Amino acid sequence: MIVLDLDGTLTESGEGITKSVQYALEKLGVSAPELEPLKVFVGPPLLEQFMKYAGFDKETAQKGIEYYRERYSEKVYPGVENTLAELKRRGYRMAVASAKPTFYVTQIMDHFNLSRYFEVIAGTDLNGPKVTKSQVIEEALERMSL
């Protein structure tokens, strides 16, 4: 059994995340000329990070996420598909557990033709109750009867 994350594991998302955050912040009137400080957005949930980083209230942070999604894109790391195919051939059961909303995880996995390698694709809920990474991992394990 193998559980993988999406961002930074299967997909190269760092640059896409930081540039999309920069775009969103600037649309909300916050100057963000350098990408390096925005790396704090890679990993944590976007809503929390917009609130923490820029001091936004929840409503403004939600608007930041909308702007972020207008710009966001990512790439698959070289060799990922071959590795997944080999793991599946060897009989490993695999799941993806991401802090991204399930809708987007599934969309990204389908876009890169990676869904076929995974028994379970799990992400957060846009409106709760499953919002933490540990809850997503628990769900993936439960769905695999583990």
Active site residues: 5
CA dihedral of residues 52, 55, 56, 62 (deg, nearest 10): -20
**CA distance from start to end of the chain:** 9
8 A C-beta contact, residue 98 and residue 7: yes
Structural tokens at position 118: 């995974």
The DSSP secondary-structure symbol of 91 reads T
